[in-house]
Chain A
Amino acid sequence: MPIALPTISQTISKGEIKTTVNDEGDTLVIMNLEDAKFILSDLLQYEVTDSLLNVYIERDSLNTEKIILKDEIIEKLNLQNSNCDEMVSNLEKIISNKDSEIVLKDDIIKQQKKEIRKQKFLKFLGLAGSVILPIVTLLVLI
């Protein structure tokens, strides 16, 4: 772990960077503490910005996925809608067929009513004849 002396004495001015080689042969980069703080601050900010970028990329892919899913939902809803339209058209055709059926049945009822009326008249005529004819015959004979 590098250790820096907690000193405020600074001989090197801001914006200046020096390099020296110490007795052990290490190359030391010397700079003002304020400059080091700026560098650290920028580095940490870049690091956080990188993390932010990753989150934004992840968010972008999530949004893309969401759009695809929504598209699929819209497609299925459209299909459902067209099915409903077809159902409505079928039901309208069924109603029209039923109407035609009713018209035909009305005609049958009309014909049957006519026939019933005729049969009733014949029945009445038969009944009347069976009463009147004997009387007329009797009258003629007498």
Chain B
Amino acid sequence: MFKFDIDIKTIFILILGVAVILLLLFRPSKEINTYEEEILILKNQNKILINNNDSLSFANVKLLEDILVLEEDVEVINIKLEDSSKEIDKLKKKKNEIHSNVIIMDANSVTNNLADYLKRRN
């Protein structure tokens, strides 16, 4: 069988070596930094930003509603403008026809029209 020839010095060195290895292995482990505070601050900042975005989004919806109402008003005005454009065309046509209509009038029509004009003026 094996025969160990170990003197006191060797045993002491071995014990010291083992002690050093054990000290190295079982040294208190460094605490893991979980950055809880930093992460919490970032999360709170994000919460504030998300709330701010929600408010902005709500404001935009309100603005869009207002814009739609204004656009409807503009559309109403456009219709009125179209009507007035037709009215202008009608009046221009009427104005252009006046001379040719008056030229072919007889004396009675002229006096009647003049009388009508005076009535309208008064």
Contact = CB atoms under 8 A, between A and B. Distances in A.
Interface of A: 1-7, 33, 36-37, 39-41, 43-45, 47-49, 51-52, 55-56, 58-59, 62-63, 65-66, 69-70, 72-73, 76-77, 79-80, 83-84, 86-87, 90-91, 93-94, 97-98, 100-101, 104-105, 107-108, 111-112, 115, 118, 121-122, 125, 139-140, 142
A41 B99 contact: yes
B25 A58 contact: no
Interface of B: 1-2, 4, 25-26, 29-30, 32-35, 38-39, 42-43, 45-46, 49-50, 52-53, 56-57, 59-60, 63-64, 66-67, 70-71, 73-74, 77-78, 80-81, 84-85, 87-88, 91-92, 94-95, 98-99, 102-103, 105-108, 110-115, 117, 120
Nearest to B73: A69
A77 B108 CA distance: 64
Nearest to B61: A80
